[in-house]
Chains A and B, each alone.
Chain A
Amino acid sequence: MLTVAPLPDADPGATLRTRLTGFAGFLRANGFGVGGGDSPRVLEAAEQVGVLDGKILRWSLKALLCARGDEWRRFDALFDAYFLRPNKKAFAESHVPKTGPPEWAGAPGDANAQVPIATAGHGAAGEDDGRAQRHGASREESLASTDFRDLDRADQVRDIEALMRHFARRLKHLQLRREARFDHGRRLDLQGTIRRSVASGGTPLRLAWKDRRRVRPRLVLLLDVSRSMSQYSFFYLRLARALCAELADVYCFIFHTRITGVGEALRDPDPWRSQERLHLLAAGWAGGTRIGECLQEFNRSDGPRLVHSRTGVIVVSDGYDTGEPELLAAALGQLRRRARRIVWLNPLLKRPDFSPTSRGMQAALPHLDLFASGADLASIEHILPKIIETLR
């Protein structure tokens, strides 16, 4: 079943071993979280199950090398590409994203390209020259590719990271019902005290205490990256990345006409890989918006497992929606029943000419615990205490 490129004067066993060990690297190149120690594991498994039966080798390696659902679904195609076809290289290359110039913001290096980032980073939200016509929603997905290189510009990133560190520290811990044993606390833990008294022959010298356990709320970020939000998307993506670096229990999604999880891409320690992965995920970036459908999709797919009674959901969107407002209201209502709090940040709220009268925003308002503006770092800093208070 396996086709191994025959080398005339090579030991066939060695060729096969090389081929097998190369597979882990091939998976790694295709975004699997396979480590360096996996090649020996592949050989070990192959030795156990034998390589003559391709099916069993496939199933075994699948169990061995996959670690999550999406890898599980992509494995078979990659296995075929590597072992069954001669042109595996072409296949791997097709997975490497191309870094084209961003059509929506001019070529890289063009002063224009920096505008959204600069505005978002330094609080000069007044620069709407000619960008105002972007407001409003459109239904199409954007085919333009987006340049994520700006995601790593050091000067703005530092301030954002500092603010998110502050946020993470201040984020209040929620009380759980279940009590745990502590050295100090509010209530005496009789069981624990007796257990400790064993060491002193039954005399309770050291008391044990009980108190409620506290954990941070889980955060789910839903970021609108449609065209009307293009001025702010990068800024929020940076915020999200800084927050992901601070807290473990944060889940980030971007949406436009579809919704995609970007948590793993944001957490990638290698900034280049992180950008490439975002590239892959960003098809449709800066296109139209269908908030209601996206939220409903979220409720269907990831909502049930991620959102629980200790989850704060933060939606960042301008509320310009081409979908049905009823759909948005229903989806938000459903989310509201699962989540602890829903916070909606609207970057346009502070503008003098803006009032949240769009149909989407009107439909959303009754379901929100906090509706606030957040166009730049300064305004985020300003409303942070409110957000923290709401998430309690």
Chain B
Amino acid sequence: MNDVVDLQRQLRGAGYIAERPLAAALLLMLDLGRPLLLEGDAGVGKTEVAKALATVRGAKLIRLQCYEGLDVHAAMYEWNYQRQLLAIKLLERDERSVALKEQDIFSERYLLKRPLLEAISCSEPPVLLIDEVDRADEAFEAYLLELLSDFQMSIPELGTMHAVSRPLVVITSNGTRELSDALRRRCLYQYIDYPDTEKELAIVEIRAPEAAGMFARQLVEFVQNVRRMDLQKKPGIAETLDWTAALLRLGISAIDDDGAERILETLSALVKTRGDRAGFTREVVARIAATC
């Protein structure tokens, strides 16, 4: 248990409030060397886990943002062929044998390392964040699976690249596509929910210390109430922090009935679709503010 509390404290020092189960999962991930799959709604702080972990471990953070049509060249490696061509021209006068020239042209100097190759060729184990893996297609997922099982990558011209050190892999998913069972089974799993009042309060206190005591509690309760409403897009933690900044910027220091007008002006930081915004009239804001 001490290890868990320790890690929790370290994460806190890195600006991330983690619940104990998450800290325990991170420890297990370090022990077993398995990737960690994080799922949850957008804006609950999945990406932050990897950043905080990198800070705590003093490791480099390598991030691969997935998108539709992500291919091998963008994710793993590409030859720097412009430089290769230039080298060919320069080597034309060279007296060396063709084989040697070729070896030179296809050496690591001409290799552009993309995140995945970079991650397995670091001397110190980095944190590899594979963000929103559900946006990439199944073919890429299959490739990723191969990489995650033996941490090696084959480059036809160069041979097989073995991992110098095993990266700590954090994978996040928003669930826009069902991930394959094979990938899920290979990973440790953690579902991250919206934070409760106490956790969110702790986050606001650590990330926006200017918002003092009572005010911070009020605004967190306001956000918690907003989340309970029937919205198309619920505000995440990033929205809470944005909104806090907006309130502070406008010099609002208490959430109450009288300030409803001015709170209304800042809501663009919290509520982000037109339909949702239409639901926030002055009366609604005043009513929520009154309960905080």
A residues sitting closer than 8 Å to B (CB atoms) are 33, 35, 44-45, 48-49, 53, 55-56, 59-60, 62-64, 66-69, 72-73, 176, 178, 180, 194-195, 197-198, 201-202, 213, 215, 248-249, 251, 263, 299-300, 304-306, 308, 334
- B residues near A299, Cβ cutoff 8 Å: 232
Q: Is B277 among interface residues, defined by CB-CB distance under 8 A?
A: no
- Within 8 Å by CB of B39, from A64, A68, A178, A195, lies A68
A63 touches B188 (CB 8 A): yes
- A residues near B89, Cβ cutoff 8 Å: 202
B residues sitting closer than 8 Å to A (CB atoms) are 1, 4, 20-21, 24-25, 27-29, 31-32, 36-37, 39, 68-69, 71, 79, 81-82, 84-85, 88-89, 105, 137-138, 174-178, 181, 184-185, 187-191, 230, 232-233, 275
How many angstroms from the CA of A55 to the CA of B275 in the assembled complex?
43
Query: With contacts A35-B185, A56-B4, A308-B176 known, what are 6 further pairs, Cβ within 8 A?
Result: A33-B184, A63-B188, A67-B185, A178-B69, A202-B85, A306-B176
Give me 30 A-to-B residue pairs in the complex whose CB atoms sit less than 8 angstroms apart, sorted by A's number.
A33-B181, A33-B184, A33-B185, A44-B32, A45-B28, A49-B27, A59-B20, A59-B21, A63-B24, A63-B28, A63-B29, A63-B36, A63-B189, A64-B28, A64-B188, A69-B39, A72-B191, A178-B68, A180-B71, A194-B85, A198-B79, A198-B85, A213-B69, A215-B137, A248-B138, A251-B178, A304-B232, A305-B174, A306-B176, A334-B232
- A residues near B31, Cβ cutoff 8 Å: 45, 48-49
Among residues of A, the one whose C-beta sits closest to the C-beta of B174 is A305
How many angstroms from the CA of A334 to the CA of B4 in the assembled complex?
45
A198 touches B105 (CB 8 A): yes
- B residues near A48, Cβ cutoff 8 Å: 28, 31-32
How many angstroms from the CA of A67 to the CA of B174 in the assembled complex?
14
- Within 8 Å by CB of A305, from B32, B175, B189, B230, lies B175
How many angstroms from the CA of A348 to the CA of B259 in the assembled complex?
56
Q: How many residue pairs at the A-B interface have CB separations less than 8 Å?
A: 99
How many angstroms from the CA of A53 to the CA of B27 in the assembled complex?
15
Q: How far is the CB of A369 from chain B (nearest CB, A)?
A: 22
B85 touches A49 (CB 8 A): no
Q: How far is the CB of B175 from chain A (nearest CB, A)?
A: 5
B81 touches A194 (CB 8 A): yes
A66 touches B105 (CB 8 A): no
Which of A35, A198, A300 is most buried by chain B, counting CB atoms within 10 A of its CB? Answer: A198
How many angstroms from the CA of A201 to the CA of B84 in the assembled complex?
9
Among residues of B, the one whose C-beta sits closest to the C-beta of A41 is B32
Among residues of B, the one whose C-beta sits closest to the C-beta of A179 is B69
Among residues of A, the one whose C-beta sits closest to the C-beta of B28 is A60
- Within 8 Å by CB of A62, from B21, B32, B176, lies B21
Among residues of A, the one whose C-beta sits closest to the C-beta of B73 is A181
A195 touches B79 (CB 8 A): yes
B68 touches A53 (CB 8 A): no
